[in-house]
Structures are given as C-alpha cells and as structure tokens.
Amino acid sequence: MDDLIADFVAECREMLEALGGEIVAWEAQPDDRARLDSIFRFVHTVKGNCGFFDFPRLEALSHAAEDALADVRASRRTPDAALVSAVLAIIDRIGEMIGCIEAGEDFPAGDDSSLIAALAPGAEGAAAPVAAAIAEGKGGAASAPRTIRLSVELLDRVMSGVSDMVLARNELARRLRETPTDVTVDGAFERLSGIIAEMRDAITRTRMQRIENLFVALPRMVRDLSAELGKQVLVDIDGGDVELDREMIEMIRDPLTHIIRNAVDHGIETPADRIKGGKREIGLLCVSARQSGNQILIDIVDDGRGIDGKKLVEKAISSGALGKAEASALSPREQLALIFEAGLSTAKEVTAISGRGVGMDVVRSNVERIGGIVEVDSKLGEGTRMTLRVPLTLTIIPALTVSIANQHFAIPRSAIEEIVRVNGGSVTLDRIGGAGVATIRGRRVPEVSLAEVLGLQSGVSDEEGSLVVLRPAGGDVYALAVDRIHDHEELVVKPAAPAVMATGLYAGTTLADDGSPILLFDPAGVAQVGGVKLEAQERSARVVEVATTTAQRDNSVLLFRGLDGGRRALRLAVVDRIEEVDRKAVRKAAGQLRVQLGDTILPLAGAEALEKGEEKVRVFRLNDGSHEIGYAFREVIDLMPMDGELIPADNPGAVSGVTLIGEEPAELVDAHWLFSNHLGAAVKPADRGVCRLPSDDPWMQNMLRPIVEAAGYVVIGEEDELIPDLVIASDDRPVESSDKAKTIVLRSDPEGEDGESIYRYDRAGLLMALKAASGRGK
C-alpha cells in the first residue's frame, strides 16, 4: 500500500506542475477543448484514486470540481473568471493535501465547504441547458514509457563516471595516434568509442529537462499577482522546448520568480496610468528562452514604466554607497546596474510582493554562484529587459582546441563554419580603419585576433597563423586568428568562476585529455569584445528600434517585399512594430479582411496575394496615433533614405507613386489612403499651393503631409518665414493665420459634423478643400 500511495503522490505531483498554466490558458481561450479535457482528467483521476485510498476530503473536493467542469464540457455552463479562480483554489488545496500525504502529516484543520461553494454558478442566468453529446475520449490511451525514480545524487555519480570515461577515451585516442597499431586494436577502440558515446547521450538526457517545467507555473503566478494589484497583464512565453539541466532549473527558479514579481509589481503600470501614457491598458510580459553555444539565455521583457537610472544614482548617493564624483562618471548602463546593489530600491513603498531592496542583489549572487550572469537594459517609459545567462552545467560537447603561444582554448564545433590557413593563396588580411578584415576566396569578413583580445603575445607571424571562420547563433560570419589548430574532441564542460564568465569571452571550462584545464570560448562574446557587430540579429526588430529614435519626419523609409513579390516602401514613422501570426489568424469578417493580433482585431491590407499554403503571415502594425491597421508583407529588405523624386500614381490608391530606392524602383505605400479606405472614400488629388502644418503634430507630419504634398503643395512649418496660402489645423489646436491664408480645420470625431471642420479621414472632403484652397492661393 505504501508503494501505491507513493506512486499516487508522484503522479499527482507531475500533473500539478502543468495544471496551473493550463487553467490560466483555458481562461483566455474557453473554447480550447484539449486544455479543458486535461484539467478534467486530473480531478477525475484524483477522485477515483481517493476512493480507493480512503481520502474522503480529497474525494469531495475533486468530485465537486469534476461536476463543475463536466457542466462546461457538456456546454451547460460557460467558464468565467469566477469559475477559473474556484477551480484554481480547489487544485491548490488538493496540492496542499498531497504534500501532507507525502510527509505523513494530517490534513489542514477545518472543512472545504467554502471552496466547494465557490464553484456554484452564482448569479448566472437560468439559460436552458444545451443538449450535446460529448465523447469521453477518442481512441485508446498510448502506452506510457517505462519509468523508474532515481536520486539526483546517483545520477551525478553516474554522469561523473561517464565524463571520466570520455576523458580517458580522448587520452587513449591520442596515444594510439602517437604509436603504431594494428587494425584489430583500432576496430576495438572504435567500438568502445561508440559505446561510450551512446552511454554519454543516454546519461546526459536523464539530467536534462525541458525548461517548460520552469515556465508552466508563470501564467498562474502573474494572474494572481495582477488580480492582487489591480492590473491587467498578458504573459507571452516562448522557448519551452529548450532543455536545461534539471538541477539548474531548480537553482534559477527563485531568481526568475523574483524578477517576474518585480516586473508585475513595479514595472507594469495600472490600466489608468498606462492609458494616460498612451499605452494600451493591458501590459505585456514576455518570457523566452534560447540556447546560445553552451549557455541558456532567458529574457524577461515588460512594456512598463522602465527603470529610472538617475533615481538609482540619487538613492545610492543618499545611502552612502556611491560618492558624487563617482556617480557623475557612471554611464547609463552602469546606472542601471546599481539595481543589483544591496539595499537599493526605487519602489515608492514597501509591499508584500517587493520593494525592500533586498532582492536583486540576492538574484545576482544566486545566478553568479552557478556560473551565470544577470544583465539589465531599460528605457524609461518603454519597459525593461532582464536577461539571465546560465550555463548548461555539466555536459559534453564537440569542440575544437586551438592555441595562442603555449595556452590552449576550446571553441564549440557547432559555431565553426570552416578553417583556413592564412598563407593560402585564397586568403588575405588587411587593416581598414584600424580594424582587421579577412578576404577569403573573394568574401570579406571581419577578422579578430585572439592574441589581441586576450592581451597575449602571438607565437607566430600573421602569415603562419590560421583562421577559424565562426558563425555564432544569430550572428554573421567572422574570422578568428589563432596560432595553431589542434584536435576535434568531445569535452566535458562545467561552469567557470563568475569572474571568468563576467569577461563575456567564455562559456565554461573543461579539461584536456591530459587533465590540464581549458577555457571554452563563447563565439558571440569573442566577437563583441573584439569589436565585431553581428548584424544578422532579427533585422525587422532592429529596423523598428531605429524607427523609435528617428525624427518625426525625415526621408527614411522601410523597404520591404510584398506578398506578391513587389518591392515597396513605407514611411518609417507610421510603422509601430512587426508581428508574425498563424495563417488562421487572417480571415474575412464584417466585409473586409482582418487579422487577429493577440486580443486585437485589425483591418488587414496588402494580403490580396496571400496563398492558402502559407502557415505564417508577417504583418506591419501601422499606427496614426489613435488607430491601427495591419499590412501583410513577405520580408523586410532594409531601412533606407528616400532621396529620389517621387513619380505620383495616376489614380489614388494603396500606392502613392514610384521612386528609386537603393538604385532600384520601389512603390511608396500611401498610408493615409490605407486608413481612409477603411474609414471613408477616395477621390482625385487637387492642385498646387503653399500649406502650413504644425511641425510638432506627428499625425499631421506623418499621415497628412504626404497627401498634401501629393496634391502639389509646398509644406512649411510654423517657424518658416514664407507666407502660406493654406493653414491646416486640428479642432483642439486653433491657429492664427494671415488674411491671405485659408484655414482648414480637421476634427478627430467622425460624428461631430459642424459645417466648419472636416473629419480627418474624410479623404473626399479634404481633397475638395485642398483643391478649393489651391485655386484661391493661385
């Protein structure tokens, strides 16, 4: 019986780990039958087992939850926030009781009547039940893999033994290469090597676990925190399939939790504050994981208020942690790093969640203790990005050993594209502007001298060295100059000391086959320290980031390729950001094509050539300051200036004209027409004139100005000394104009017709007014 109960507890633990996130996801998508079924199966399983083990309280709780969920499955009830909260409370209590069973303790005192009562429909209307035949499950259950539970200590001993075997095999391989052997010995060694490789892979997998097990509880935690703080937060999780050592997952659980609690508590504003700041009321928290070399990078990004580096400096000075002279020399990044100092917090008040200034220093020390690094980047008013760089810990990876003078290093084989000798006829080295450039078979790539990066004296001349051509994850190619190339080996990698990892050059440490220590390079870190800018990061994200720092009006355009292959351009200022959605998120509704982006449905332009077979669609989010529409495209080409003359289109439409961009023709998309086409009609443009627009009004400059210029006007600002023929103003900003100038007033309310103003998306009315004004101006 004890063994059966232990199996019951272990099974419940495994299912509970996944359920918190499942219920929160089900709340967001009530029609997701798969999630509903998994929640139902859990409470159904608990109920059945409790009847066998005689746990009446557990049985009553699970039975009540099962009844409520059965009503939802049979369409007799619609899930709402109250039901989700009640089911979460029931599952929390079940988890608490499972813990008591595991520890051999008594259940908590009291009864569970209030929890069960919370499952009642409450004030729901007495709608007639919908008759529906719900299948209880289709197909037979797949046979579960055979499993056994082992202690982590035993796995560690086995893994350590396999690591020693790999090192011993490497040493044996070296000795066999140095001495003559017969075919029989070589064949036996190859068989032994294959067996060790298979054993290594199997043992390594026993310690690896999907990081999804760390992420699965985050939606529930954020939901509870948001409800407690009166905020609305949407969680976006990516990279759950990345694998990490299970012990490492446990060691970063607390630091990750603390960072997320800080983001919800202090980073993301209340809905009212977000609306005042021009943001949507729902905050966004993105948690993602990816592997880079021998490191796992976990990003926690929020779109909240950001961290005020100046306030951190003021707090550090007032607390005596920093002198005024020292503080004045800090860079913005160093100012943000003060958040990791003990006792420093910019929280206005201490809450039960965070704000005592005793957290981020502990977060950093805990991460550094396992050979990791915490990085912070923040923009005031825009949000904060926290990055945890943690090693994979004890693992074995294929690597290439190289040397500078007499010091040996290792490079992950996964990042190596090729190896070339400098003295070959197809390779030349040059210095351009103080930076090294290698030309390899006609291809020019940045060159980094490992000796210069490490501050060592190279033992060979430039003509005698070798180049290792590297392509880091997410980066462009560059060439690393080394003295000597040695063997390809499988090395056991362990975390290096925090001081070593802080240099940004290394991903860990390892041992050579003779037992000597070797440092493993991080190829992306070497490139960064060596001054190479890896430009193949997500191009579209970089373009949008540039857009946020571009002046409200310049000649910059975003060059892209449409779904039909056409080369087009958009004025940069109207592009808010870039999204990628599933094909099923695009559908025709309410008379036009629309796209669902998160919880927002937008009109979609540019999708006429969308093919049925495409699984993903990339979309520009165009923003005029108060409205949004989507524009489908194939790929971003580049961010470029538009210096050529625009040849206007014969008729108004989605394309305002054609011009040369990058020495090739490109169609310029008419953003104003796109917006007005969804809100009004289009007509022909007017004649010439001189028009004054407010210089500090983004909508006037980014949306209206191209239309006015296409109508033949010369557009000036308030500071210009020219006398205008026409002044265009908004109804909330009256302007003074000369007697000669005619004034057109635009209003933002489509229903507020007063005979003296024009709705700003009434393209027909606007063009008629422009035509009339140009006649008077002439």
Residues 6+ positions from 184 with CB-CB distance below 8 Å = none
Q: What pLDDT, on the 0 to 100 scale, is given for residue 149?
A: 64
| pLDDT level of residue 632 (50, 70, 90 thresholds) | very high
Where do runs of H (alpha helix) occur along 104-151? 113-117
Taking only the tens place, the pLDDT of each residue in 447-473 is 888 888 888 888 777 777 888 888 775
Question: Which of 359, 391, 423 is at the close of a domain?
Answer: 391
Whether residue 549 sits in one domain with residue 468? no
- Where is average pLDDT lowest: 46-50, 145-149, 525-529, 669-673? 145-149
Is residue 129 in a domain? Answer: no
Q: Which residues pair with 635 in a beta bridge?
A: 561
Q: Are residues 475 and 594 in the same domain?
A: no
Share of the chain above pLDDT 70, in %: 82
The phi and psi torsions of 217 (rounded to 5 degrees) equal -85, -5
Q: Which residue has the tokens 């980047």?
A: 377
Written as one letter, the residue type at 238 is: D
Q: Is residue 360 located within the same domain as residue 415?
A: no
User: pLDDT per residue over 176-192, tens digit each?
Assistant: 877 777 778 878 888 88
- pLDDT over 90, % of the chain: 4
Residue ranges making up the domain that contains 412: 395-529
Judge whether residue 685 has pLDDT over 60. no
Digit-coded pLDDT (tens) for 747-769:
888 877 777 888 888 888 888 88
- Mean pLDDT for 353-357 is 45
Q: Residue 495 sits in a domain of what CATH number?
A: 2.30.30.40
Give yes or no for a contact between 471 and 530, defined as CB atoms under 8 angstroms apart. no
Sheet holding 283-292, edge to edge: 233-238, 283-292, 295-302, 383-391, 373-379
pLDDT of residue 122: 67
Do 165 and 237 belong together in one domain? no
Which pLDDT belongs to residue 683?
33
Q: Does 192 share its domain with 256?
A: no
Residues 194 and 282 placed together within one structural domain of the fold: no
Q: Is residue 147 part of a domain?
A: no
422 near 415, Cβ under 8 Å? Answer: no
Q: Is the pLDDT of residue 707 over 60?
A: yes
User: Whole-number mean pLDDT of the chain?
Assistant: 77
More confident residue, 552 or 623: 623
Q: Would you give the distance in Å from CA 720 to the centre of its chain?
A: 44
Spatial separation of the C-alpha atoms in residues 420 and 107, rounded to whole Å: 69
Residue 434's pLDDT band (cuts 50, 70, 90): low
Examine residue 365 and state whether it is found in any structural domain, yes or no: yes
Q: Are 474 and 537 in contact (CB under 8 A)?
A: yes
The whole-angstrom separation of Cα 223 and Cα 560 is 38
pLDDT digits (tens, 9 = 90+) for 316-352: 888 777 777 677 777 788 888 888 876 665 555 545 4
Give me the pLDDT at residue 751, please: 78
Helix count (H) and strand count (E) of the chain?
23, 35
pLDDT confidence tier of residue 678, bands split at 50, 70 and 90: low
pLDDT at 1: 64
Are residues 300 and 190 part of one domain? no
Q: Are 270 and 230 in contact (CB under 8 A)?
A: yes
**Ranges 294-303, 471-480, 519-528: which has the least confidence:** 471-480
Higher-pLDDT residue of 112 and 538 is 112
Q: Identify the domain boundary among 336, 365, 391.
A: 391
User: Is residue 313 located within the same domain as residue 219?
Assistant: yes
| Global pTM value | 0.43
Q: Lowest-pLDDT range, 107-111, 127-131, 162-166, 478-482?
A: 127-131
Mean pLDDT of 374-379: 88
Higher pLDDT, 391 or 129: 391
Task: Kindly report the CATH number assigned to the domain that includes residue 707.
Answer: 3.40.50.2300
Output the pLDDT for position 12. 80
> Pick from 557, 578, 576: which is nearest to 567 by CA?
557
Average pLDDT over every residue of 289-307: 85
- Rounded CA separation 450/485 (Å): 13
pLDDT for the residue 548: 38
We report the CATH number of the domain holding residue 314 as 3.30.565.10
| Closest CA relative to residue 300, chosen from 237, 392, 391 | 237
Tokens 């440092």 — which residue?
A: 519
409 and 492 belong to one structural domain: yes
On the question of pLDDT at 110 being above 90, the answer is no
Same domain, 720 and 749: yes
Residue 715: partners with Cβ closer than 8 Å, 6 or more residues away: 691, 692, 693, 705, 708, 709
Are residue 26 and residue 102 in the same domain, yes or no?
yes
DSSP H or E segment with residue 375: strand 373-379
Domain-embedded: residue 128: no
Q: Of the ranges 64-68, 529-533, 694-698, which one carries the lowest mean pLDDT score? A: 529-533
Residue 300's pLDDT is what?
A: 93
In a domain, 735, yes or no: yes
Out of 494, 529, 564, a domain closes at: 529
Query: Does 543 map to a domain?
Result: yes
Would the pLDDT of 619 be above 80?
yes
Regarding whether 385 and 256 lie in a shared domain, the answer is yes
Instruction: Return the bridge partners of 745, or none.
Output: 729
The reply to whether 375 falls in a domain is yes
Tokens matching residue 449: 């001298």
Predicted local distance difference test score (pLDDT) of residue 298: 92
Pick the closest to residue 693 from 721, 727, 723 (CA basis). Answer: 727
Q: Read off the CATH number of the domain in which 105 is found.
A: 1.20.120.160
Q: Which residues contact 772 (CB under 8 A, 6 or more apart)?
A: 686, 742
The full DSSP string for 706-729 is HHHHHTTEEEE-TT--SPPSEEEE
Count of domains forming the chain: 6
Would the pLDDT of 388 be above 80?
A: yes
CA separation for the pair 438, 432 (Å, rounded): 10
pLDDT band at residue 141 under the 50/70/90 scheme: very low
In a domain, residue 145? The reply is no
